[in-house]
Amino acid sequence: MNSPDHTSGQQPHLVLILLFDGVQSLGFSGPADVFAAAGELSSGACRYEVRTASLDGGSVRASGGLTVRPDHGTTDVAVPGTLIVPGTDGIPALDRAIVDAVGSLARRARRVASVGTGAFLLADAGLLDGRRAATHWEFADELAHRYPDVEADARDTVVRDGRVTTAGGAASGLDLALALVEDDLGGEAAQQVARSLVTYRRRPGGQLQFAEPLGPEARSPVLRAVQRRILAEPGSDLSIRSLSRQAGISERHFTRLFRAQVGMSAREYIERARVVAASRLLTETLRSPEVIARETGFGTQATMLRSFRRVLRISPLDYRERFS
């Protein structure tokens, strides 16, 4: 277990949250509450000091119509133990001054974190090169496209890579902060904080349980027709042999072309399409998992369970309970 830079009797561990116009309110308020609760519950074992900063120390306009007055400007703040960069509702404007501030603060911080699309600011500052990073599932492909040296992860809620920790959507800021508290104070302390905030210490499943985890449409009209068939008839014969015949090309060429245009293998796309179809039936009907597995091409409950855990990181029954 790593200890924070400072414990009781010394200067507190500074958690600095960067603010800018358009920042998601939940993306910074959630982590702030986690660290504040951790400090109160730690009985002096650790003192966190949560502070906010904008470029010039002036007020920023956050989501939900909130106006937030930061504690500091980015040039007059102490060295942070933890730097947190929240995101926006979409991809943040990559203002050069903000990106430079992120880079400057990150070089001095012991650890760096982002929430949601805040990963784009870290990536633009070069902090994610050669690293795996989470961002909101909706923007993971764009992160990978803009920054080829970043391994964008749309599945995991929280991703750690060295001293950099990244989280998916805005609500994942809670998960991220709890993970950092666990690093500092241990699992029991993180569990206490989670209970006090009435949330999970580790939420089950990953990001894709909230999305329909399909890849992009192929450029080729022939392959798009194959994709439409897969989505419309997930329970039918979707062997590579059958699909390549429909496309009028060899199995080998079909396999290469599909991966090149869709970004995943045809088998993976079929599995995801079946998971999407099954998830709809789980939430919209009262059919048993056994029946749903047969109707959506899995064949057996065991196969469906493995696919759900691989794609969504959650079981079919848990999915039904959570989203029905």
Q: Check if the beta carbon of residue 219 is closer than 8 Å to that of residue 258.
A: no
b/e sequence 16-36, b meaning 16+ C-beta within 10 Å: bbbbbbbbbebbbbbbbbbbb
**CA 245/CA 254 separation, integer angstroms:** 9
pTM over 0.75: no
In single-letter form, the type of residue at position 72 comes to H
Say if residue 204's pLDDT is above 90.
no
pLDDT confidence tier of residue 231, bands split at 50, 70 and 90:
confident
What is the rounded CA–CA span in Å between residue 13 and residue 44?
Answer: 12
Residue with tokens 């909230």: 210
Residues 250 and 190: their CA atoms lie apart, in Å, by: 54
Average pLDDT for 144-155: 91
Q: State whether residue 95 is helix, strand or coil.
A: coil
Judged against a pLDDT cut of 80, whether residue 12 lies above it is answered with yes
Indicate whether 74 pLDDT > 50. yes
Handedness of CA 238, 242, 247, 250 (dihedral sign): positive
Q: Which position has the token pair 């923007």?
A: 139
In the three-class reduction of DSSP (H, G, I as helix; E, B as strand; rest coil), residue 32 is classed as helix
pLDDT of res. 5 = 47
Residue 256's alpha-carbon distances to 223, 247, 249, 253, 263, in angstroms, are 12, 13, 11, 5, 10
C-alpha of 225 from chain center: 31
Tell whether the model's pLDDT for residue 139 goes beyond 50.
yes
**Over residues 226-230, mean pLDDT:** 91
Average of per-residue pLDDT across 193-213 = 63
**In 3D, which of 135, 121, 127 has the Cα closest to residue 164?**
127
Domains parsed from the chain with CATH numbers: 13-207 (3.40.50.880), 221-323 (1.10.10.60)
Taking 50 as the threshold, does the pLDDT of residue 3 lie above it?
no
Q: What is the pLDDT of residue 113?
A: 98
What number of other Cβ atoms are within 10 A of residue 96's Cβ?
8
Distance CA 235, CA 238 (A): 8
Asked if residue 185 lies in contact with residue 34, where contact means CB atoms within 8 angstroms, the answer is no
Residue range 173-187: mean pLDDT, rounded: 90
Q: Which of 215, 193, 225, 221 is nearest to 267 (CA)?
A: 215
> How far, in Å, are 34, 90, 98, 185, 267 from residue 191 at the CA level?
11, 31, 34, 10, 39
Could you tell me how far CA 87 lies from the centroid of its own chain? 12
8-state DSSP, 217:
P
Instruction: Report pLDDT digits (tens) over 269-279.
Output: 999 999 989 98
